[in-house]
Amino acid sequence: MSYKLLFVCLGNICRSPAAENIMRYKIEQVGLSEPIVCDSAGTSSYHIGSPPDSRMSAAALQKLQIKLRGKARQFQKSDFENFDLILAMDRDNYEDILHLDPTGKYHQKVHLICDFCSRHNLKEVPDPYYGGAEGFNLVIDLLVDACEGLLKYLSR
């Protein structure tokens, strides 16, 4: 049996694919490749089919020596059924996800990814899209922290 994680941001080209790929990298580092499956999605349809943003990819390559893989897709209601944990990058996306579950049946599956951080105090992963390189680097640092915390949480 595998455990399935879905990382969600707005467009699925910066933060969520970075989180998906960083988590996969962290899982491989500890040898848990089999039981945990990672995917990502966006709450909007802006970038469906697009690869990760080149600036996000450059930051991941520079800081972690990992290549970001994947193509943007939009969050679907079926994701509630298909994933064990849904990790939103910020409060707006968290609210947008919960809005698609009016009965609240899946609310316990949805969390803010920064809730798993241990070294950073930020409660949300800021969208780096309209900023410079430092924004992308901050996102990588935050997501490494969050993914390490998430891995500890899942190991319990």
Q: List the catalytic residue out of 9, 14, 38, 117.
A: 9
Buried b (16+ CB within 10 A) or exposed e, 37-60: bbbbbbbbeebeebebbebbbebb
- Alpha-helix residue ranges (DSSP H) falling in 53-110: 54-64, 78-82, 91-99
Catalytic (active site) residue 15? yes
Among the options 14, 15, 39, 147, which is catalytic?
A: 15
Question: Is residue 141 annotated as a catalytic residue, yes or no?
Answer: no
Distance separating alpha carbons of residues 42 and 50, to the nearest angstrom? 11
Does 69 qualify as catalytic in the annotation? no
Residue of 53, 79, 90, 127 with catalytic role: 127
What residues are annotated to the active site?
A: 9, 15, 127
